[in-house]
Amino acid sequence: MSQRVRIAVQKSGRLAERSRELLARAGLELVGGRDELVARAENLPVDVLLVRDDDIPGLVAEGAAELGICGRNVLAERTAAFTPEAASGVVERLALHYGRCRLAIALPRDRPWCGPEALAGLRVATSYPRLLAAYLARHGVAAESVAWSGAVEIAPRLGRAEAICDLVATGETLAANGLREVDLVLESTAVLVTASAGAPRETAELARLLVERIAAVERVRESRYVMLHAPRAALAEIARLLPGSESPTVLPLLGFPDRVAVHALCRETVFWETLERLRAAGASSVLVLPVEKMLA
């Protein structure tokens, strides 16, 4: 039986649904419900391991999975506990567009902040003790790290800590608990990770193909295909206005020698303002289409 590639993703949580959607857009036809531990692809020799986010870096580093999708915050915290050899076994290949957040220091609103030295002698509650320790060491600050799981933001209200180090997305939860964000520890997003080496050649080739497909899905996420009609004399200005475009394709328009059809792949978001500038430059019949798939 041929070797199957294994991809570890979060079983439940903030990255779970988006990760499965990403794999589906990369061409995997998965069967298996969320109550199962493994979802199998019907069209490729690929198994998706549905696991805890914290376990993903270890599974990839140990060779139990060739690929994984987890938060950069989890990757950094978990690999900080690995031996150097084990940590080198898992590599961040690609930052993904979802799961954006930041690991930040937060204080009660009435506590002054003059920089990291304001934490000296304080108790800081966190679910990321290694990243917090690295932050404190980087700034030469001596503070007590209080291990906390669950709702870290309530620790100051319970008198267990004077500050917290926690993930922040919108800041609304901090505000609801009388806290304010004061410093950044780590910018995070979902990331695609791979084993650094050691897979059989057949498995490694399929894993490389999947990385390419996922990268292609990410590249076209904001890309749009733009088609329009324009006077030949306006081509230079219209090409300048097309966002993130390579040299556009220019085609003659039957019966209109002084006008052309312009097709362009725009690798950046095409806003309404862009369309209005194109029209002002002489473009007409402007059509903007989403891009489903693209190989560079």
pLDDT beyond 60 at 279: yes
pLDDT beyond 50 at 37: yes
CATH number of the domain that 88 lies in?
3.40.190.10
Helix (H) or strand (E) holding 288: strand 284-290
- Residues 95 and 105 occupy one common structural domain: no
8 SS3 class: strand
Domain boundary, last residue among 137, 171, 188: 188
Q: Is residue 296 part of a domain?
A: no
Q: For residue 292, what pLDDT is reported?
A: 80
The first and second tokens of residue 106, run together, are 């937060």
Quickly tell me which residue has 């915290």 as its tokens.
77
- Residues 171 and 149 occupy one common structural domain: yes
| Sign, Cα dihedral of 211, 212, 213, 214 | positive
pLDDT in tens, 195-207: 887 666 678 889 9
Candidates 158, 159, 132, 131; CA nearest to 145 is: 132
Contacts of 23 (CB under 8 A, 6+ apart): 7, 9, 30, 48, 214
- Residues 126 and 249 occupy one common structural domain: no
Assess contact for 188 and 73: CB atoms under 8 A: yes
Quickly tell me which residue has 């999947």 as its tokens.
210
- Residues 150 and 283 occupy one common structural domain: no
pTM of the predicted model, to two decimals? 0.81
Q: What domain count does the chain have?
A: 3
Residue type, 289: L
Q: For residue 267, what pLDDT is reported?
A: 80
Candidates 81, 101, 71; CA nearest to 10 is: 71
Q: For residue 1, what pLDDT is reported?
A: 41
Q: What distance in Å separates the CA atoms of residue 112 and residue 161, rounded to the nearest whole number?
A: 15
Give the CA-trace dihedral at 252, 254, 260, 266, to 10 degrees: -80
Assess contact for 266 and 242: CB atoms under 8 A: yes
Q: Is residue 295 part of a domain?
A: no
Q: What is the mean pLDDT of the segment spanning 43-60?
A: 95
Query: Percent of the chain scored above 90 by pLDDT?
Result: 78
Q: For residue 171, what pLDDT is reported?
A: 92
- Residues 184 and 108 occupy one common structural domain: yes
Provide the domain limits for residue 264.
224-290
pLDDT in tens, 107-166: 999 999 999 999 999 999 999 999 999 999 999 999 999 999 889 999 999 999 999 999
The first and second tokens of residue 220, run together, are 């076209």
Report strand pairing: 90-95 vs 67-71. unpaired
More confidently predicted of 186 and 32: 186
- Among the residues of the chain, which ranges form H helices? 16-25, 56-61, 72-79, 84-87, 129-139, 172-176, 201-219, 235-241, 272-280
Q: For residue 205, what pLDDT is reported?
A: 87
